[in-house]
Amino acid sequence: MREPSSDNDGAGGRPPRLLPQHDPWTQPPCVRGGLRVVSSRQYDLHIHSARDEQERVQKKVFMNWINNFLSQRNPPLRVDDVIQDLRDGTKLLALLEILSGQVLPRERARILRRPHFLSNVNTVLRFLEQRRIKLVNINATDVVDGKPAILLGLIWTIILHFQIEEHTRLLAGSPAGWEDAGSDVAAAEQNVLVQASPKRPTPIERWRGGARKALLHWVKNSINQRFGVQVNDFGPSWRDGLAFLAIVHCIRPSLIELDSVKKMEPRGRLETAFSLAHRELGIPRLLDPEDVDVPQPDERSVMTYVAQFLHKYPGTYAPEQPLSPTLASPTAAAPPGMQPDDLSVLESFLKRAEDTLLVLN
């Protein structure tokens, strides 16, 4: 039987719902048997929060990456909202024109409406498919509707192909991608013999494992053994900033002394790395410290940023002083039994070994 209403009743005479002082859904997780136990609601909230943070960082990084290229256009263009500003397809077409060097058709009505949006986006998708770029669950309607997951997936596909995949192919001819290359004279001589062997895998076969694997391999060979900075992924390994600083040091050792920054806080190291890379190396600043100093940094965003170093300096490092050519001579001939391509690889490797010895000395 319903209780009579009182002066404190809610609207409609119904008594207000009183929440318990200790809501079981919002209680901190408990520990049982050494395991952290959370409720299903807490788990769902954690997953949603992680996804929201991932989306926030990707929007920021992808927007900065796009603007870096659109600024090269005449007249320059700019994206302020990576979702809304790309829906009509015009800036996507402009981006692909800059990346590919081709002129693409587009709708040129005085006022663009939805059919024009769809036409432009379909041109984008057809262009990518013609380049044999795999598009998974991406269609023009979802792009024009501004669905974040679809648009971010499309931009990532473009970044992966035009920046990461295209430039990790440079590793095929770079000793930076060879394991243990150039640590000392003996190692250099041993690797020369291994690379000259007719049984060795070709560079293309070595990097057939994928762009992510190739980029990670390059980072490991650049900094893991030389500086003791362990990088096993494009997530937590980068959180403390040391990996970014080690790459900057590889490219130009005079910019940073790694021992001097190890006492800094992670965000201080990240800020130093991003600032130096932008100011001294011309690497566009896509990230901020708070984007990386989190339990699980966004892998796509970190890959996008790190690949810029490979784009600018495909080898492990770029010597500050140009070296006089030694073996690399246009008139050099291949020794008996060695193919010209093998000679080119050998010359490149020996030059890198020489560079390494100069740095070590």
Residues 152 and 92 in one domain: yes
Q: Are 230 and 309 contained in the same domain?
A: yes
Phi, psi of 30 (to 5 degrees): -100, 165
Residue 5 counted as domain residue: no
Long-range contacts of 186-194 (CB under 8 A, 24+ apart): 188/349, 188/350, 188/353, 188/356, 188/357, 191/349, 191/353, 192/346, 192/349, 192/350, 192/353
- Do 64 and 158 reside in the same domain of the chain? yes
Residue 71 lies in a domain: yes
pTM over 0.85: no
pLDDT band at 93 (very low <50, low <70, confident <90, very high): very high
**Which residue type occupies 183?**
S
What confidence tens digit (pLDDT) does each residue in 206-255 have?
A: 444 488 999 999 899 889 878 889 999 999 999 999 999 999 999 999 99
Report helix angle 299-312 to 242-251, nearest 10: 10
Which tokens is 51 given? 């996804």
Instruction: Give all strands (DSSP E) within the chain, no chain letters.
Output: 30-32, 35-37
Q: Are residues 58 and 143 in the same domain?
A: yes
User: How sure is the predictor about 179, in pLDDT bands with cuts at 50, 70 and 90?
Assistant: very low
Count up the domains in the chain and report the number: 2
Per-residue pLDDT tens digits for 43-61: 566 566 778 899 999 999 9
What's the residue count for the chain? 361
Domain closes at, from 132, 150, 173: 173
Q: Please report whether residue 169 resides in a domain.
A: yes
| CA 10/CA 154 separation, integer angstroms | 50
Q: Report yes or no on 310 lying in a domain.
A: yes
Average pLDDT value for residue range 20-47: 61
Q: Are residues 226 and 168 in the same domain?
A: no
Total Cβ atoms within 10 A of residue 344: 14
* pLDDT of 134 over the 50 cut: yes
Q: Is residue 344 part of a domain?
A: no
Distance CA 243, CA 237 (A): 8
Q: Which residues contact 26 (CB under 8 A, 6 or more apart)?
A: none
Token pair 């990461």 in the structure block, residue: 164
Residue 196 included in any domain: no
Lowest mean pLDDT among 162-171, 259-268, 324-333: 324-333
Q: Does residue 221 belong to any structural domain of this protein?
A: yes
Domain identity same for 165 and 54: yes
The helix, strand and coil proportions of the chain, stated in percent and rounded to the nearest 5, come to: 55, 0, 40
Greatest Cα pair distance, the chain, in angstroms, is: 106
What's the mean pLDDT in 286-314? 91
- CA 130 to CA 232: how far, in whole Å? 34
* Mean pLDDT, residues 13-31: 53
CATH number of the CATH domain containing 55: 1.10.418.10
Q: Are residues 169 and 274 in the same domain?
A: no
* Domain assignment present for 222: yes
Domain span including residue 229: 206-317
Mean pLDDT across 345-356: 51
- Angstrom distance (rounded) from CA 310 to CA 307: 5
Whether residue 249 sits in one domain with residue 129: no
